[in-house]
């Protein structure tokens, strides 16, 4: 039996997908980024945790006032989870860019994608990874730039 996700968590994860995907012009890369962010379990749990911490803080404040002990600690947890979720979303972009570079040749052989679409996506992916080497290293995909 699973738990229903808080709507604010679903919205937060979707907003990451939209925000990060629209940074790219190549529709192929945009779709990969969107899909990876929307379906990532780690990001889901971080967004869920943030939402739950936010609700806990709101309940505590409503019932006991804004100067209640531990309220600021709950709010700090919420902020930390949000920061971690943002970091995870950027990591997912790095993974999406690496996938685009590693699998692009296979896509080019698919009738749905022509070489121009794949090239445009790979160019953007390569540029993004060069500009975000720290994130690429953190998720272990920096080596894809050697292709």
- What digits encode the pLDDT tens for the residues 31-89? 999 999 999 999 999 999 999 999 999 998 888 877 777 888 999 999 999 999 999 99
26 neighbors 99 (Cβ within 8 angstroms) = no
**Structural domain contains residue 140:** yes
Domain that holds residue 26: 7-146
How many domains does the chain contain in total? 1
| Tens digits of residue pLDDT in 106-141 | 765 565 667 788 899 999 999 999 999 999 999 999
**Structural domain contains residue 34:** yes
- Predicted structure pTM score: 0.88
22: helix, coil or strand? coil
Q: What is the mean pLDDT of the chain?
A: 90
Is residue 116 classed exposed, middle or buried when 0-12, 13-18 and 19+ CB atoms within 10 A define those classes? exposed
Residue with the two structure tokens 């629209």:
22
Alpha carbons 6 and 11: distance in angstroms, whole number: 9
């Amino acid at each position: 039996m699973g738990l229903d996700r808080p709507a604010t968590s679903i919205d937060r994860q979707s907003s990451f997908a939209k925000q990060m995907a629209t940074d790219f012009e190549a529709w192929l890369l945009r779709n990969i980024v969107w899909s990876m962010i929307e379906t990532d379990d780690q990001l889901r749990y971080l967004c869920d945790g943030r939402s739950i911490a936010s609700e806990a803080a709101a309940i505590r404040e409503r019932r006991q006032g804004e100067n209640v002990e531990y309220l600021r600690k709950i709010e700090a947890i919420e902020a930390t989870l949000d920061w971690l979720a943002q970091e995870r979303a950027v990591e997912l972009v790095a993974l999406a860019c690496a996938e685009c570079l590693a699998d692009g040749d296979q896509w080019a052989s698919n009738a749905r994608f022509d070489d121009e679409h794949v090239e445009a996506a790979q160019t953007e992916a390569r540029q993004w990874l060069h500009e975000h080497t720290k994130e690429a290293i953190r998720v272990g995909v920096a080596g894809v730039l050697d292709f």
